[in-house]
């Protein structure tokens, strides 16, 4: 049984997803929003989501954008796609041109051929190609979980395209003083998938990361209505679980960010840790990265998925961090 906790997040985030019908799927239509922040008279534009695709070597990347202002690229983590960030994007669209995309292999970003093992360099090159095609870089970049790992690779290898990066709870276990236990946990998750299938592995992932259902903890689940958009988002994302487990978990876990390049590079890199992630393994991984970078982590609302149920305060915190406050 797929986890209700994740469904709650997609219900929260997907409720505001509204893609304009009939929009041509070309990048040429996408670059028109990179302008100064909106006036009150332009606020209606923040409620229009435009979708497009960008051809990259070996794949085609689907993305959505809304708002005006400097580019803010959102890199989803794990099996997530652009739809999960609809609510967060809405709260940021009065200040940024928010671009969220489906990473290669997820949802609407398809391979030209058969699925391939996730490669961090390739994923970061996809993000770089997207920023370049939009023509409004350098970009602010927000990456969460595995998307934070991709963002770190992007900032290290394409620093000219990144103005600032907020890396939210990256699984940077290879920077721990002793990563063996964390690596064994990721390997155990992969082994569970191979042995018992997707549902068992996802249940293990949520439990290991303190994201168990309220029902699993003996608590009454919250009441919430699931919109058609959220249902579609959840169907897409749950369809990505197998690709993530089969091809993504281990490469994302074993990736070691290039700390020397990040420290020497121009982009400002901020590690973000959820307030409710205190004591969880992911907090230790984020702290290890911040220590290597010689910076203090920023605390964000919620837990590993705080951008969904706390989208309003999460957006305000993200904007303050990008502003250097």
pLDDT of residue 23: 31
As to burial, measured by CB atoms within 10 angstroms (0-12 exposed, 13-18 middle, 19+ buried), residue 2 is middle
Ranges in the chain, pLDDT < 50: 1-5, 8-32, 36-46, 214-215, 217
Place of tokens 């400097």: 70
pLDDT at 207: 86
Q: What is the pLDDT of residue 34?
A: 64
CB 167, CB 206: distance < 8 Å: no
pLDDT at 212: 63
Site of tokens 């303050």: 320
* pLDDT number for residue 223: 56
Pairing label, strands 97-101, 59-66: antiparallel
pLDDT of res. 272: 98
Strands 50-56 vs 59-66: parallel, antiparallel or unpaired: antiparallel
Helix (H, G, I), strand (E, B) or coil at 32: helix
Predicted local distance difference test score (pLDDT) of residue 208? 81
pLDDT value for 231: 87
Indicate the SS3 state at residue 110.
strand
CB 98 within 8 A of CB 66: yes
Residue keyed to tokens 């409004």 = 136
Cα Rg, the chain, nearest whole Å: 18
Fold of 4-322: Rossmann fold (3.40.50)
* Geometric angle at alpha carbon 316, from 91 and 14, rounded to 5°: 35
- pTM score over 0.85: yes
Q: Which pLDDT value is given to residue 112?
A: 97
* Residue pair 108/132 in contact by the 8 Å Cβ criterion: no
Q: Give tens-digit pLDDT for 196-216.
A: 999 999 999 888 877 665 445
Look up residue 122 and give its two tokens. 């390739």
């Amino acid at each position: 049984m797929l986890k209700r906790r994740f469904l709650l997040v997609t219900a929260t985030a997907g409720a505001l997803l509204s893609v304009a019908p009939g929009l041509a799927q070309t990048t040429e239509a996408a670059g028109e929003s990179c302008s100064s922040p909106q006036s009150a008279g332009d606020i209606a534009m923040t409620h229009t989501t435009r979708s497009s695709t960008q051809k990259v070597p070996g794949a085609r990347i689907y993305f959505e954008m809304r708002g005006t202002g400097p580019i803010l690229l959102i890199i989803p983590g794990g099996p997530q796609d652009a739809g999960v960030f609809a609510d967060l994007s809405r709260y940021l669209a009065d200040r940024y041109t928010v671009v969220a995309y489906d990473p290669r292999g997820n949802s609407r970003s398809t391979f030209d051929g058969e699925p391939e093992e996730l490669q961090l360099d390739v994923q970061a090159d996809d993000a770089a190609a997207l920023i370049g095609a939009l023509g409004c870089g350098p970009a602010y970049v927000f990456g969460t979980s595995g998307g934070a790992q991709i963002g770190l690779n992007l900032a290290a290898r394409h620093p000219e395209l990144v103005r600032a990066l907020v890396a939210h709870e990256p699984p940077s276990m290879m920077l721990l003083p002793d990563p063996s236990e964390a690596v064994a946990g990721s390997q155990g998750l992969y082994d569970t998938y191979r042995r018992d299938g997707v549902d068992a592995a996802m249940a293990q992932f949520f439990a290991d990361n303190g994201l168990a259902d309220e029902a699993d903890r003996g608590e009454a689940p919250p009441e919430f209505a699931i919109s058609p958009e959220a249902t579609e988002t959840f169907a897409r994302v749950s369809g990505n679980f197998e690709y993530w487990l089969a091809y993504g978990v281990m490469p994302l876990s074993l990736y070691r960010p290039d700390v020397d390049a990040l420290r020497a590079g121009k982009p400002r890199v901020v590690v973000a840790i959820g307030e409710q992630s205190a004591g969880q393994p992911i907090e230790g991984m984020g702290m290890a990265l911040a220590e290597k970078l010689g910076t203090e982590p920023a605390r964000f609302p919620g837990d590993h998925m705080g951008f969904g149920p706390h989208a309003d305060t999460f957006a305000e915190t993200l904007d303050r961090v990008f502003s250097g406050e």
